[in-house]
Chain A
Amino acid sequence: MNVFLQSVISGILVGGVYALIGIGLTIIFGVMRVINFAHGDLLMLGMYATWLVFSRLGIDPFVSVAITGPLLFLWGAFLQKTLINRVLNALPQNQILLTIGLGLIMSNSIMLMFTSDYRILTTTYSSSSFSLGGISISEPLLVAFLITAVITAALYWFLLRTDTGQAIRATAQDRDAAQLMGINVQAMSVLAFGIGSALAGVAGALISPTYYIFPQVGSTFTLKAFVIVVLGGMGSVIGATLGGLIIGVTESLSAVYIASGLKELVVFVLFLGLLLFKPSGLLGKTRA
């Protein structure tokens, strides 16, 4: 029972970060109907930015979120404005290929700059944990989870309570109608892509004390983000939040009860089953 509780809790802690990655992807999809295959690579950029700031300037990864977030926001907004925007009406497969290409460019540029060596960001608390009722809780993961919770709450507030947030949601709901209502859908797209990549970058910063940092780390997270987003229903922010937690717990349980090398395999099998039997996701509406 203790082992079970233990793995559920660590799954939830990791799942919080997964949720952040998924929310970013789902906002981008919701507003632009573009599946961003470079999402994991944006996260990888966040990891490298965190690592650089930490190793050169000694800024703590959890503090540097305040740097990586805005940085990735600008980068994402730039990508949207210069490249992604041009394929909004193109074939979906061309959009997918464009983002795959962008991902390749990002990961391989980083590889040329920093080699493909695995980097470890060792903080004083990287492997520290404390015990709560017989269940050990990893400190960096807990802090990451708390920051995630704060950011997610702020994001919900932004999307639900502010005018800009409502404009973003309106654009996601019906692009043409939103435009007729006087919403600048171009600006909303740029904003959405910026927010999406900022969230990916922040997630990268938050996991950098506990993960290996290497240029190809992105693809795993891209795929994971898809699973999360499809699980929750494409375009649904609440769905992505739930999806992230579910995937976190699933991974953690299958690592304990099946085999740690197979945890991702289990997730993909689950994903395929979901695609086949409920492609609209747990909270998604039926596809148009």
Chain B
Amino acid sequence: MDRRPLLSRAPRGFSVLGLVLFVAAIAALAAFPSFVKKPYVLHMGVVLFLAIIQGQAWNVIGGYAGQYSVGHAAFFGIGAYVTMMLLELNKTAPWVGIWAAIAAAVLLSLVIGSITFRLRGPYFVLASISVTEIIRLAALHFKDFTRGAEGFLVTEIPTLKIGATEIEFFTKRPFYFAALGLAVVTIIANWAVQHSKLGYYFQAIREDQDAAHSLGINPAFYKNVALAISAAFTAAAGGFYAMFVKFIDPNTVFGLDVSVQFVLICIIGGIGTILGPVIGAMVLVPLSEILRNPKGLVQLGIVSSDSGFVRFIEANLSNAHMLVYGILVVVVILFAPEGVLGVIRRLATRLRRRTPSRGRTEPAATA
């Protein structure tokens, strides 16, 4: 029985084409707000970039190192809470506070890692869930410190001064650029990790922990490193989320739903690849955003305001994005366990195999 992930192939080397495409995509996305100014579109962009960051971050531990954490809400929530509380209680600007958030999440990851990485498989999954639940319940209970279920609301984000330019965070626009920047940094960091010695260690542990151990790779240590990297980016995403959505409470940032979302983005796209989380986010975000706020389609002029479609969604499906997540995950696990990217690759190989044999009398079986 083959129990390895289907996409467990060594990462490919540096490709010029890939780099050109990556830079072109960033340039296009950076120029995008100059042409499209509709807040709904920019909002969707921010949510999309955030989901990409989340997916990439989870991928480090879940995809490369093969440890399926279903407790990433812990780091996301810590990131959100530290950034938020520093801003609200101490007037620390979020771009300063987020570093404290990242540091806190890395520290937390070392604690969580040293507890949970002694377990494997389903036991690890259960442990990662329970640690996060402990944090959520504690955040709900210790009201003097966290305000409990009341949560925190952003009163005002200070103006960012870079040289002579002043950036005010009133519209979606600055958030769009910040999220894009963060997503680009996360993707580059992921690529670097995947192509470093560290990345190979992670994959060795994923493929066969005992074999990796016998070759001198300390599994506990490198799993902790992977989790720390993952936690750092997750916390950044959490801090950003808190500033963007402007309200957090223990259930929205520490909830099991949040942890599941991290896994879903990767599963749907394709685990253990750079492109996977990007594709996963591109599938999940538009779907859930349209269900959450169908009026946005009206704003875009795609449908008219009295359209039956919008009214149907508003009346029946306004809270259905989690239902869609559920259906998507069931469909993907049953029919495409290697994700959308895996399906695309499978189709591509099939096409490639077919093309050269065309026009030949003999099949290319000798190759």
Contacts and interface: CB of A to CB of B under 8 A. Distances in A.
Contacts of A89: 1
B90 to A, nearest CB: 27
A192 to B, nearest CB: 17
Contact of A87 (B134, B141, B323, B333): B333
A104 B5 contact: no
A94 B260 CA distance: 13
B317 interface: yes
A164 interface: no
B88 interface: no
- Tell me what chain A mostly uses at the interface: helix, strand, loop, or mixed: helix
Contacts of B317: 112
A276 interface: yes
B130 A223 contact: yes
Contacts of B119: 275-276, 279
The range of chain A's interface size is 35 or more
Interface stretch (B121-129, B152-160, B236-244): B121-129
B261 to A, nearest CB: 11
A226 B256 CA distance: 15
Contact of B326 (A105, A219, A276): A105
A96 B137 contact: no
B123 A97 contact: no
Given A98-B333, A265-B137, A223 B322 contact: no
A83 B330 contact: yes
B61 to A, nearest CB: 13
Contact of A262 (B3, B141, B316, B328): B141
Contacts, number: 116
A116 B319 contact: yes
Contact of B330 (A91, A98, A262): A98
B229 interface: no
Given A96-B125, A101-B329, A226-B126, 17 more contacts: A87-B333, A91-B3, A97-B333, A101-B330, A101-B333, A102-B330, A103-B326, A105-B326, A105-B327, A105-B330, A108-B319, A112-B317, A223-B129, A259-B141, A265-B134, A265-B141, A275-B119
18 contacts: A35-B122, A94-B337, A96-B125, A100-B260, A104-B329, A105-B323, A105-B326, A108-B326, A227-B130, A259-B141, A261-B141, A264-B137, A265-B137, A265-B141, A268-B131, A268-B137, A275-B119, A279-B123
B17 interface: no
Contacts of A105: 323, 326-327, 330
B337 A104 contact: no
Contacts of B5: 91
